[in-house]
Amino acid sequence: MTKIIGLTGGIGSGKTTIANYFQSFGIPVYIADDEARKIMRSSEIIAAIKNTFGEAIFESGILNREKLAKIVFNEPEKLELLNNIVHPAVKKHFEHWLLQYKKIHYVIYEAAILFESGGYKNCDFIITVTAPVDKRIQRVIERDKTTRELVLKRINAQWTDEKRISKSDFVIENISLENAKLEVYRILKILKIKQKHS
């Protein structure tokens, strides 16, 4: 049976880079945030968001993601409302995606809020990617052309590294890519041993 490896980490930790490296070893990777973005374009989800957050966050019928982000990252209860709309749809999509990999030993399920969404409960192993907060902030500012204040709000809306690590099987410190790659290789060797004994 296919084992699900949850891959998580705070915003800017570089978990997608790590996910891509796992993929280079032939391991299928599901990027939950990317899929959630696509799902949020579906008429069913758009209707639910409109119903919950009102017309003000839409421009010419198109969802303004920045306006929505400002609302949900300032009010935790609003973030929870959004998650309750999007996460069940992502879960269903992942279950369909998984069907095509029945003969594969491992797949990676990469999600920023793996713990907060409860997605970790479906994982056989969990990897947390960490990086110093300043490095994470810098990466997100460069990537999203945003401000330090907005990045900090998003960091504070997520679990801390300490909390994530306490519930994880493996930790990858993503300060230098070379070191992170060595960690990926080490984890793959451990998983191979576990596979032989299962």
Q: Where are the domains of the chain?
A: 3-197
Task: Report whether 15 belongs to an annotated binding site.
Answer: yes
Give how far Cα 4 sits from Cα of 64, 69, 132, 191, Å.
33, 29, 27, 12
Task: Find how far residue 72's CA is from the centre of its chain.
Answer: 17
Position of tokens 């990617």?
A: 129
pLDDT at site 66: 87
Reduced to 3 states (helix: H, G, I; strand: E, B; else coil), residue 124 is coil
Task: Report whether 17 belongs to an annotated binding site.
Answer: yes
Question: In the chain, which stretches have pLDDT less than 70?
Answer: 198
pLDDT at site 195: 81
* Beta-carbon count within 10 A of 38 CB: 11
pLDDT at site 19: 95
pLDDT at site 198: 67
Q: What CA–CA distance (Å, rounded) separates 198 from 192?
A: 10
pLDDT at site 196: 78
- Among 41, 37, 65, 42, smallest CA distance to 53 is for 65
Task: Find how far residue 54's CA is from the centre of its chain.
Answer: 26
Task: Report whether 128 belongs to an annotated binding site.
Answer: no
Q: What CA–CA distance (Å, rounded) separates 5 from 169?
A: 10
Is the C-alpha dihedral spanning 176, 164, 5, 86 positive or negative?
A: negative
Q: What CA–CA distance (Å, rounded) separates 58 from 2?
A: 40
The predicted-structure confidence for 29-80, as pLDDT tens digits, reads as follows: 999 999 999 999 999 999 999 999 999 999 988 899 889 988 998 888 999 9
Q: What is the DSSP letter of 100?
A: G
pLDDT at site 18: 95
Q: What CA–CA distance (Å, rounded) separates 107 from 6?
A: 9
Task: Report whether 8 belongs to an annotated binding site.
Answer: no
- Among 193, 187, 164, 119, smallest CA distance to 11 is for 164
Superfamily of 3-197 according to CATH? P-loop containing nucleotide triphosphate hydrolases (3.40.50.300)
Torsion, Cα of 111, 114, 120, 123 (10° steps) = 10
